[in-house]
Amino acid sequence: MDSQGQVEPRVVWAVVESGIGPLLLAASRDGLVNVVFHATDAVRDRAVERLASRFGTEPVEAPGAPLLAEAIRQVEAYFAGRRRDFDLPLDWSLISGFNREVLRELATGVPYGTVVGYGDLAGRVGQPGAAQAVGTAMGANPLPVVVPCHRVVESGGGIGGFGGGLETKRKLLALEGVLPEPLF
């Protein structure tokens, strides 16, 4: 319950503008649980429906909820170039097993402005040779940007894939100084 004796919603969400378009941020009582790219009305509605199904309760739009407000503040600071790391509690309940292990390593072991190869990341979690499985984990990342799957690239120098689209990945890597800013 909150300070007025009201039951707090189990999942809250908001859409925030960013340098890569609108992002839906969702938080549970345990932490930030989901970040969704290109959060137009239709994408937002599908994401909220998936969260409702997963959590068994209707998510509530509440950008002022404390955890969500802090996540919004940090995301805005990141895109403004004033923040390099996110300091938020994360709810990992939307991912499990190998994928969770890989994403946790990514979140703690690949700092701002650096990249790692899919195979290198597989080796870091004790699964050398599992580069393709790492790619699958990146595609399943429920917390992109905050858990920086854009920092994972091909070992031969290619940019690799990205759930938010390759242009979005390029913009994020340019923001972090890994790639040059696009000319236009």
Residues with catalytic function = 149
Cα–Cα distance, 131 to 118 (Å, whole number) = 5
Q: 160 and 135 in contact (C-beta within 8 Å)?
A: yes
How far is the first Cα of the chain from the last one, in angstroms, to the nearest whole number?
A: 50
Strand partners of residue 15: 24
User: What is the spatial distance between Cα 9 and Cα 27, in angstroms, rounded to a whole number?
Assistant: 10
Residues 123, 1: Cα–Cα separation, whole Å: 44
* DSSP label of 159: -
